[in-house]
Amino acid sequence: MPGKDIAIDLGTSSIKIYFDGKGIILNEPSVAAVNTDSGEVIAMGGDAYKMIGRTSDRISIRNPLTGGVISDFDLASYIIGVYMKKIKESKVVMPRAVVSIPCQITEVGKRAFVDTISSAGVRKICLIEEPVAAALGAGVDISAPHGTLVVDVGGGTTDMAVLSLSGIAISRSVKTAGNTFDESIIKYVRRKYNLIIGRRMAETAKIAVGCVYPREELATFRVKGRNAMTGLPQWADISSDEILEAIIEDTMHIIHVIQEMLEKTPPELVGDIYGDGLILTGGSAQIYGLDKLVSKKVKMPVHTAENPQDCVVLGAGKAIRFIDDIENKAYGVVNPLSAAY
């Protein structure tokens, strides 16, 4: 019965909801603006994102997730509740949901995802680990007895796994991802130019001219903020090479974790992976040159998935058809879902 179940990717940077038979119907930044006196949420998603760095004393910007896990349960539940209500207006009654979770999450962390989503009136929740969803979303046949390496570089975490037979053979998760790049750019600009810039400015510069491998043509971006000494408005034109310098260490950290995981991967699977290459997904997979750098360092082909930031939610959406099996306790090796609540 298509058209009533949903998939949810509750990410550190964005919340995405996929509707069976329809595709992605919601994609909003994971952020809210809260009145600090009353605790009331005054804006969320895109509206709250616009307020980052522009709030007054009485409004604070809050993120329901930090480093891939739910850090503010009440806020996360509130946001999901509002978005679910929106969807229900488009005629869904008590849907079932496939929800993506980071790999290597604690039981408490997992429970927070389940409780958040069920508080919004979801009848049945099935979990899928992010790299499994990412691979499905990237169009990989993960059910084969064949190794696939997926690296999802998101906002709060980089999740990576070697998959075979719809399951995870080995995985790693590090809290170095897009947000880390933004923070490193903020620090770099402050150190070099005595200039204090905000999170949004750093992210905009990163998306506009950032790279982790030298661009063929140097690009520049004007960042605006205030002088750290005088407090006066100031700007600087920063180049793509400067952003590279600011974020290369973070990127190398991710690459070292990939290398370390490969060293521990069973040899048969390593053989498959070196033949096929590695698949990059997640919003931060779009940073210029990441594919080239990873390929050079791990010495294998690297493919960036199409629409990398949507792979997890699309893959979770594809896994909707496995809900019936997991509900009937038919836990076959081909079921990519990891648990049901």
Ligand X SMILES: Nc1ncnc2c1ncn2[C@@H]1O[C@H](COP(=O)(O)OP(=O)(O)OP(=O)(O)O)[C@@H](O)[C@H]1O
Which residues lie near ligand X (CB under 6 A)? 11-14, 68, 154-157, 177-179, 203, 206-207, 210, 282-284, 286-287, 309
Which does residue 177 bind out of Mg ion, ligand X, none, counting CB within 5 to 8 angstroms by kind? Answer: ligand X
Which residue's CB is nearer to ligand X, number 14 or number 251? 14
**Piece of 6-14, 87-95, 103-111, 193-201 that binds Mg ion (CB under 5 A):** 6-14
Which residue sits closest to ligand X, CB atoms considered?
Answer: 178
Name the strands in the sheet holding 124-129, side by side, starting at the edge strand that comes first in the sequence.
Answer: 23-29, 14-19, 6-10, 96-101, 124-129, 339-340
Which does residue 14 bind out of Mg ion, ligand X, none, counting CB within 5 to 8 angstroms by kind? Answer: ligand X
Which residue's CB is nearer to Mg ion, number 154 or number 210? 154
11 binds Mg ion, rule: CB under 5 A: yes
Q: How far apart are CA 263 and CA 279, in angstroms?
A: 18
Which does residue 156 bind out of Mg ion, ligand X, none, counting CB within 5 to 8 angstroms by kind? Answer: ligand X
**Residue 13 CA: distances (Å) to CA of 45, 111, 118, 192:** 10, 20, 21, 28
Q: Closest separation between CB of residue 280 and ligand X, Å?
A: 11
Backbone angles phi and psi of 217, in degrees to 5: -120, 130
Write the binding mask 67 to 106 for Mg ion: x where contact by CB under 5 A, - elsewhere: ----------------------------------------
**Angle of helix 178-193 relative to helix 199-209, nearest 10 degrees?**
100
Q: Closest separation between CB of residue 281 and ligand X, Å?
A: 8
> Please, which residues bridge with residue 163 across strands?
148, 168
3-state secondary structure 106-117: CHHHHHHHHHHH
Which does residue 157 bind out of Mg ion, ligand X, none, counting CB within 5 to 8 angstroms by kind? Answer: ligand X
308 binds Mg ion, rule: CB under 5 A: no
Q: Closest separation between CB of residue 89 and ligand X, Å?
A: 25
Backbone angles phi and psi of 128, in degrees to 5: -135, 135
Which residue's CB is nearer to Mg ion, number 242 or number 310? 310
Which does residue 286 bind out of ligand X, Mg ion, none, counting CB within 5 to 8 angstroms by kind? Answer: ligand X
Look up residue 260 and give its two tokens. Answer: 């370390």
Look up residue 300 and give its two tokens. Answer: 């294998």
Q: How far apart are CA 3 and CA 161, in angstroms?
A: 30
Q: Closest separation between CB of residue 10 and Mg ion, Å?
A: 9
137 binds Mg ion, rule: CB under 5 A: no
Which residue's CB is nearer to ligand X, number 164 or number 179? 179
Tally of CB atoms within 10 A around 58: 11
Which does residue 143 bind out of Mg ion, ligand X, none, counting CB within 5 to 8 angstroms by kind? Answer: none
> Please, which residues bridge with residue 227 across strands?
195
> Please, which residues bridge with residue 164 across strands?
167
Residue bearing tokens 């980052």: 52
Which does residue 13 bind out of Mg ion, ligand X, none, counting CB within 5 to 8 angstroms by kind? Answer: ligand X
With CB under 5 A as the rule, give the number of residues binding Mg ion.
Answer: 3
Closest residue by Cα to residue 311 from 283, 278, 273, 277: 283
Q: Closest separation between CB of residue 333 and ligand X, Å?
A: 26
Q: Phi-psi category of 67—alpha, beta or left, where left has phi over 0 and alpha has psi -120 to 50?
A: left
Under DSSP, the state recorded for 321 is G
Under DSSP, the state recorded for 54 is -
Q: Closest separation between CB of residue 152 and Mg ion, Å?
A: 6
Which does residue 178 bind out of Mg ion, ligand X, none, counting CB within 5 to 8 angstroms by kind? Answer: ligand X
Residues that bind Mg ion (CB under 5 A): 11, 154, 312
